[in-house]
Amino acid sequence: MQPEQDQPRRSEVFNWVQRIGPARSLFLALFSLSLLLLGCYTLTERRIIGRRPATDEVQPPEVSVDHMVRVRLLGSKPRAAIELEVTGPFEISSEAPQPIQQELPRLPVCTARVAPSGGINLGGAHYPNDDLLISPMRDASIVVEGKTYRGLLRIHSDSGGLFVTNHVDIESYLRGVLRGELPSRFHDEAFKAQCVAARTYVLYQKRNRSADSTFDVYDSERSQMYIGVLGEDERAVGAVAETRGQICVWRDQGEDKLFCTYYSSTCGGRSQHVNHFKPNDPDVPPLRGNVECKDCYLAKFYRWKPVKLSKTEVTRRIVANYPSIARLGTIVGLRPKELTVDGRIVRIHLDGSTGQNETLVGEDFRLSVGGRVLKSTNFVIEAGPDFFLFRDGRGYGHGVGLCQHGMETKARRGMGYKAILARYYPTSRIKTLYN
């Protein structure tokens, strides 16, 4: 923001305009208008020039942010049937192929299914359209498979099943995320740090989604855990309100830039570079890792117990995610190909019984075997005749960015949420995007 300038007094301006004459005044006015339009055009975010303030004070323009988040509920696969309820009056609408706009008093618990003849069957009614929007009115809310949500619900039929997406205001969404991500015993400052990270994460996802995507985030660990109204306890509501509109940014060539505020449960001692986890993500200073964290040592999975899996089982799990790896036969050897300074496996080499081999990103290998089985990529591998032993495991999660258990210890020691975020996302700072 530019510092405020002293304004020349009105009489001086008037005298000066009189001296230069009307033609020059018109030229000056047009020139000033051009500068103003150019300035508006070059702003990095879409802005609205609000009404002239009552005082002569120069007000910064209000930033216009799209506040709606589209959250895909119930996973990434189409469902044959979905249990739904709307607790009060609502509107059901659709545009194509047949415009629909109906107001109904409520929707008792019912099942939504793809209609055999096309369209969607819902609560005994048949709608010929493949895409329906349910908009609760007054204090009605939507219940999907027993969970209550604010906002609207889009139901659409695709790939032989149904998908449901909750369209909800960002701040309401965050109230449903915090308790999905953190236990209630966590400190208030930890809740606030988590909230700013989660807000930044969802805004980043919104801005980087492809134009034809029908949703912004999943309601699971694939994005952020979102449990709807169930998560709206005093803790979560307070943290959202106290950090309203705040996001993490980093300064790049004079501009504040959003970044993907990744976070995970327990880093195990040191964070890692984002490209070890997501090789194609932008390499930005806040996500370059190597942040030492001695504060997650109290976490349950700071160190984890050895995991023993048969070679056949490891092969089955990997091939389920990477069918082309079936050509390796059974995976008989696993060798770390690249390690971080603290022992995380960046890439892993797979040797097959057919003599063929393959290299995978360490995180992809871990998540294919099971993110809850191999809790991190920081482990040592031992191979037996027909099994692998994953031992000396450290940490839980990908270890990029914020460490949630480290954050909690720091908060309990008196560190504020802004300092916590600056520590785990080096070079970043907090910016208030909207009030």
Q: Which is nearer to Zn ion, 147 or 270 (CB)?
A: 270
251 DSSP β-pair partners: 256
SS3 for the chain is CCCCCCCCCHHHHHHHHHHHHHHHHHHHHHHHHHHHHHHHHCCCCCEECCCCCCCCCCCCCEECCCCEEEEEECCCCCECEEEEEECCCEEEEECCCCCEEEEECCEEEEEEEECCCCCEEECCEEECCCEEEEEECCCCCEEECCEEECCEEEEEEECCEEEEEEEEEHHHHHHHHHHHHCCCCCCHHHHHHHHHHHHHHHHHHHHHCCCCCCCCEECCCCCCCCCHHHHCCHHHHHHHHHCCCEEEEEEECCEEEECCCCEECECCCECCCHHHHCCCCCCCHHHCCCCECCCCCCCCCCEECCEEEEHHHHHHHHHHHCHHHHHHCCEEEEEEEEECCCCCEEEEEEEECCCCEEEEEHHHHHHHHHCCCCCCCCCEEEECCCEEEEECEECECCCCCEEHHHHHHHHHCCCCHHHHHHHHCCCEEEEECCC
Q: Which is nearer to Zn ion, 264 or 368 (CB)?
A: 264
Where does this chain touch Zn ion (CB under 5 A) — which range of 40-48, 216-224, 314-322, 406-414?
A: 406-414
Distance between CA atoms of residues 405 and 378, nearest Å: 17
In contact, 357 and 374? CB cutoff 8 Å = no
Please give the residues from 129 up to 188 whose contact with Zn ion meets the rule CB under 5 A: none
Q: How far is the CB of 231 from Zn ion (least distance, A)?
A: 24
Q: Any contact of residue 267 with Zn ion (CB under 5 A)? A: yes
Q: How far is the CB of 266 from Zn ion (least distance, A)?
A: 6
Where does this chain touch Zn ion (CB under 5 A) — which range of 27-35, 230-238, 260-268, 413-421?
A: 260-268
Q: Any contact of residue 296 with Zn ion (CB under 5 A)? A: yes
Please give the residues from 11 up to 40 whose contact with Zn ion meets the rule CB under 5 A: none
φ/ψ (deg, to 5) at 327: -65, -15
Where does this chain touch Zn ion (CB under 5 A) — which range of 61-69, 164-172, 251-259, 264-272?
A: 264-272
Q: Which is nearer to Zn ion, 393 or 406 (CB)?
A: 406
Binding residues with Zn ion: total (CB under 5 A): 5
Q: Which is nearer to Zn ion, 180 or 397 (CB)?
A: 397
Where does this chain touch Zn ion (CB under 5 A) — which range of 82-90, 98-106, 166-174, 266-274?
A: 266-274
Q: How far is the CB of 298 from Zn ion (least distance, A)?
A: 10
Q: Any contact of residue 225 with Zn ion (CB under 5 A)? A: no
223 DSSP β-pair partners: none
Q: Which is nearer to Zn ion, 201 or 424 (CB)?
A: 424
Q: In the chain, how long is the greatest CA-to-CA distance? A: 97
Each residue 352-391 as x (binds Zn ion by CB under 5 A) or -, in order, gives ----------------------------------------
Q: How far is the CB of 189 from Zn ion (least distance, A)?
A: 16
Q: Which is nearer to Zn ion, 196 or 296 (CB)?
A: 296
Q: Pick one of 406, 420, 421, 425: the residue that binds Zn ion (CB under 5 A).
A: 406
Where does this chain touch Zn ion (CB under 5 A) — which range of 88-96, 161-169, 197-205, 401-409?
A: 401-409
Distance between CA atoms of residues 416 and 187, nearest Å: 10
Q: Which is nearer to Zn ion, 267 or 314 (CB)?
A: 267
Where does this chain touch Zn ion (CB under 5 A) — which range of 114-122, 294-302, 313-321, 385-393?
A: 294-302
Distance between CA atoms of residues 389 and 381, nearest Å: 6
Q: Pick one of 293, 348, 361, 422: the residue that binds Zn ion (CB under 5 A).
A: 293
Q: Any contact of residue 291 with Zn ion (CB under 5 A)? A: no
Please give the residues from 228 up to 247 whose contact with Zn ion meets the rule CB under 5 A: none
Q: Pick one of 196, 318, 403, 420: the residue that binds Zn ion (CB under 5 A).
A: 403
Q: Which is nearer to Zn ion, 176 or 406 (CB)?
A: 406
Q: Which amino acid is at 10?
A: R
In contact, 176 and 227? CB cutoff 8 Å = yes
Q: How far is the CB of 295 from Zn ion (least distance, A)?
A: 6
Where does this chain touch Zn ion (CB under 5 A) — which range of 81-89, 101-109, 152-160, 286-294?
A: 286-294
111 DSSP β-pair partners: 83
Q: Any contact of residue 401 with Zn ion (CB under 5 A)? A: no
Where does this chain touch Zn ion (CB under 5 A) — which range of 3-11, 133-141, 207-215, 399-407?
A: 399-407
Q: Which is nearer to Zn ion, 180 or 401 (CB)?
A: 401
Q: Which is nearer to Zn ion, 293 or 360 (CB)?
A: 293
Q: Catalog residues that contact Zn ion under the rule CB under 5 A.
A: 267, 293, 296, 403, 406
